[in-house]
Structure 1
């Protein structure tokens, strides 16, 4: 069947299932566990393809008295073929998105789980740069910026989760002729971890609206 689950929906499902596992490990009251299970099913069922055998098997697998972390991981793995993966771009396609970058460091595609990616982000530590490729108004755009070497604990502007963040600053064109300004925010240093925590793409869109180069 055609993949229909987005990466951020998969993140939502994963977080819900992991929470269910944590409840099973820490709560002895069966009624409480049953209530959390019902909440979990209410949250994730609308995100899954209806009437699909894999969906039915997944939901049935969750409805056990004691869900272990290993069982949960196996169940989540069965959903991967139903997730729309982030496109694997060629070096030429990436270069087109970053026309002004002469020596673009390429992401290591073999290390990426593309079904977890709502956006693509990678660091060039040598130049203190970070590159982002993300969907924006139905097309992929490329954003480059300076990434502070200092990591702090804070809320990421993209995934809205507390974690290890660094200041990302991109140069954007201001309204005046030949005038430029730097705009940015604190985001996760590890973009892969950020993607696993991202459940609402609106925050990503809002961030891109701020940092993308303006055309006049």
Structure 2
């Protein structure tokens, strides 16, 4: 069976499971724990393909009372065969997305879980740059910008979560007269963590619309 779950849906499933575990740890009333469990299973079921043995096994393992964090951590990766992974791009493919960058720093592919990526982002600390590869109108585009050295607590424009964010500033061309506009947004410094927190693709789409270079 072809994978059908998106990375942001997988992130939402992960958060739902973690919330369930937290409820098990904090709620003593067995009836209330059952209500939280049943609600969680209902929400997760909406993402999963019907009559799929992997999905059915996953849901069945959510049934026992008092699911532990260790058990949840082992359970979540079993869904990965159903998750659409982010493409593993070659150096040539990445270079085509960033034609104006002469020495493009490559992302650390070995450190990335492609099943968790709705977009690809990595930092070039030496040049204070950040590079993003994201879906835009059914294709992948490359976005580059300056990443401020200062990290603050704030809301990320992409994942809409409070965390360690830095100012990302991109340059966009707005007219044929050679005029340029600088656009700044605070986003997570750690893009892998940002992806794990991203459960709604619309803020990412809005961010891309704002910062990608207009031609």
**TM (normalized to structure 2)?**
0.98
User: Which residue of 2 is the match for residue 66 of structure 1?
Assistant: 66
Q: Distance in 2 between matches of 1:196 and 1:183?
A: 25
User: Which residue of 1 is the match for residue 42 of structure 2?
Assistant: 42
* Equivalence map 1:146-185=2 (5 Å): 146-175=146-175, 177-185=177-185
User: Which residue of 1 is the match for residue 192 of structure 2?
Assistant: 192
* Shift, 1:196, TM fit: 0.1
User: Which residue of 1 is the match for residue 9 of structure 2?
Assistant: 9
C-alpha contact 1:184 1:210 (8 A) present in aligned 2: no
User: Which residue of 2 is the match for residue 32 of structure 1?
Assistant: 32
Q: Distance in 2 between matches of 1:22 and 1:182?
A: 42
Aligned CA-pair RMSD:
0.8
Q: Distance in 1 between matches of 2:176 and 2:6?
A: 39
**TM (normalized to structure 1)?**
0.98
C-alpha contact 1:172 1:212 (8 A) present in aligned 2: yes
Q: Distance in 1 between matches of 2:188 and 2:110?
A: 21
User: Which residue of 2 is the match for residue 111 of structure 1?
Assistant: 111
Deviations 1:28-86 (A, max 9, x none): 10111111112111211010111101111110100111101111112111101111110
* Equivalence map 1:89-100=2 (5 Å): 89-100=89-100
> Any gaps of 5 or more consecutive residues in structure 1?
none
Q: Distance in 2 between matches of 1:152 and 1:184?
A: 15
How many positions carry a matched residue from both structures? 215
> Any gaps of 5 or more consecutive residues in structure 2?
none
Q: Distance in 1 between matches of 2:117 and 2:65?
A: 32
* Shift, 1:176, TM fit: 5.3
SS of the residue corresponding to residue 168 of structure 2 reads: strand
* Shift, 1:184, TM fit: 2.4
Runs of 4+ in 1 over 6 A off after TM superposition: none
